[in-house]
Structure 1
Amino acid sequence: MGRIFAIISTILGSIIGAGFSTGQEIFYFFSQFKEKSFFYIGFSSILIFLILLYLVNIRIKSRIILMIFKSYILLFSVITLIVMFSAFGQLGVEFLGVSKYIFTLLCFVLSIAIFKHGLLAVINMNKVVVSILITALIFVFLKAWHKNEIMFQFESLRCTLPKDILNHLIFPLLYSTYNSLLAFPVVNGLKERFCQKEIKISIGISSIIIFFLLSIINVMLLWEANLQTSQMPLLKVEKNIILHFILVTCAFLEILTTTLANYMGLSYSIKNPKAEFVIIILSLILGFNEFQELLRKLYSLMGYIGLGIIAMLSLSTLLLKDRRLK
């Protein structure tokens, strides 16, 4: 159980990044559809499970396809790094009143220092951070529910699918594709330390946890409509100073864990440490841009490209009849 907990924490730590822990990503992809958003959250959770399970099992024999896949992971890691650096700086501005340049640089320094200690350091950090974040979110949700601060109309969901589900289906598709490919380098790295059965079980449990966390955050965002204009809506839900401090701290730490996941993506794509460092520096410079705009534009872009990558991998699997990835 300890080994499975370590895997689950590491998978969740790579997915629960800036957009997730601040609520911005969840509002953009789900909450904007109001009560219908729960259907899309469920669909996304199932897709994340299926895509990660698929990536764990496939193997690419074609050098051309493998090169294209690694190139995507490289581009994916760079774009996500830019968003993570920007988010860290934005958190510093909104909650501490400190220049975003200082906090963006701080994110760079801390993440490099942790990554130098290897995969074990990444796993241990995720075990702590994910546990604290999940506990804090559940406590905040139950506290608000008990005080009747959250009274979402669940009866409006009914048992029927939304009539316009096909028009909005692209949002859960983009979200699940993006986050699955974000977690892939981490899952691929875990294969060196854990057996495949443990990883598969952990992927299933992680998908269930993601569904519940997305649903909890979504309910809070739907109830607090005035927060939806903020770049960090989730972090302004709780008014209690201690809980607020915990949520903000977790957001900082989760941005770091996702940054580490993207460093692993760079290591998977290129084997030259000097080239990796140059790419990280370029991402840092671009990370000084506005967080909200970067997240909405770049995440969607990479989601679309990711759909093409998944389609390409599926086609190659059917043609080559091989189900393990190098």
Structure 2
Amino acid sequence: MGKIFAIVSTILGAIIGAGFSTGQEIFYFFSRFKEKSFLYIFFSSILIFLILLYFVDIRIKSRIILMVFKSYILLFSVITLIVMFSAFGQLGKDFLGVSRHIFTLLCFVLSVAIFKHGLLAVVNINKVVISILIITIVFIFLQALHKNEILTQFESLKFHLQKDILNHLIFPLLYSTYNSLLAFPVVNGLKQRFRQKEIKVSIIISSILIFWLLSIINTMLLSKSSILNTQMPLLIVEKNIILKLILVTCAFLEILTTILANYMGLSYSIKNSKAEFVIIIISLLLGFNEFQALLRKLYSLMGFIGLGIIAMLLLSTLLLKDRRLK
């Protein structure tokens, strides 16, 4: 069970980042669709499960396809790094009143220091962060439920499927594609330390927890529709100073875990440590831009490209009948 917990925490740590912990991406991809958001969350969770399970077994024998895939992971890692660096700086500015540049630089220093200690350090920090996050989210949800804040907002929702539901399915599709590819380098790294059976069981548990966490946070956001236009809606929902402090701390730590996952993506794509460092520095400099704008523009772009990449991998698997990635 200790191994399963370590794997689940590491997978969740890769997927749960700035947009998740602040509520921004959950609002953008789910909450704004009101009652349909719960269906979209379920759809996304199933897709994440299927894609991650596929990643455990696939193998690409074609050098061209493997080169294209590694190039995408490289581009994907760079873009996500830019967003995460920006998010860390935005958090420091919004909740501590400190310059975004200072906190972005702090994020860079901390992430590089942790990553130098290898995969074990990544696993250990994820175990702590995910445990704190789950306990905090559950406590806040139960507190809101006790105050009838959750039940009240459900009375205003009409649970019926509208005709435009198919037009909006692209949002959960992009969400699941992006986050699955974000976790790929981590899953690939875990295969070197754990058995496939342990990883597959962990993927099942991770998918259930993703659905559960998304649903809880989405419900809380729907109960406070007046603040959904902010950059960090989840962090504004909670008014208790201590709980808000814990949430902000979780957000900082979760951004770090996502950055570590992207460092693993860089290591998978390129084998030159000097080139990796140069790319990280460029991502850091670009990360001084505004978080919300970066998240919405780059997230969707990489999601669309990711759909093509996964389609290419599926086609490769069907044609070559070989399902283990080199």
Q: TM-score range by the shorter chain?
A: over 0.9
CA RMSD of aligned residues (A): 1.0
Q: Which stretch has the larger CA shift, 144-153 or 44-53?
A: 144-153
Amino acid at match of 2:199: I
Report the TM-score when normalising by structure 2: 0.98
Partner of 2:98: 98
Partner of 1:136: 136
Q: Which stretch has the larger CA shift, 3-12 or 234-243?
A: 234-243
Report the TM-score when normalising by structure 1: 0.98
Partner of 2:221: 221
Q: Which stretch has the larger CA shift, 143-152 or 272-281?
A: 143-152
Partner of 1:195: 195
SS at match of 2:250: helix
Percent pairwise identity: 82
- 2:54 is aligned with 1:45: no
Q: Distance in 2 between matches of 1:237 and 1:169?
A: 27
Report the Cα offset of residue 156 of structure 1: 4.5
Aligned residues: 325
Give CA-to-partner distance per residue, 1:166-196, whole Å, 9 cap, x none. Answer: 1001000000000000000000000011000
Q: Distance in 2 between matches of 1:287 and 1:11?
A: 24
Q: Distance in 2 between matches of 1:78 and 1:5?
A: 28
Aligned pairs for 1:39-118 within 5 A: 39-118=39-118
Partner of 2:317: 317
- 2:20 is aligned with 1:20: yes
Partner of 1:153: 154
Partner of 2:248: 248
Report the Cα offset of residue 157 of structure 1: 5.8
Q: Distance in 2 between matches of 1:142 and 1:223?
A: 13
Note if contact 1:89-1:99 (Cα within 8 Å) is conserved in structure 2: yes
Note if contact 2:34-2:157 (Cα within 8 Å) is conserved in structure 1: no
Partner of 1:278: 278
Amino acid at match of 1:294: L
Note if contact 1:39-1:161 (Cα within 8 Å) is conserved in structure 2: no
Q: Distance in 2 between matches of 1:156 and 1:288?
A: 39
Report the Cα offset of residue 161 of structure 1: 4.1
Partner of 1:211: 211
Gaps of 5+ in 2: none
Report the Cα offset of residue 229 of structure 1: 1.2
Gaps of 5+ in 1: none
Aligned pairs for 1:285-296 within 5 A: 285-296=285-296
Note if contact 1:92-1:98 (Cα within 8 Å) is conserved in structure 2: yes
SS at match of 1:192: coil
Report the Cα offset of residue 154 of structure 1: 6.7
Give CA-to-partner distance per residue, 1:60-99, whole Å, 9 cap, x none. Answer: 0000000000000000000000000000000000000000
Could you say if the C-alpha distance between residues 61 and 154 of structure 1 is closer, same or farther in structure 2, counting changes exceeding 3 Å? farther
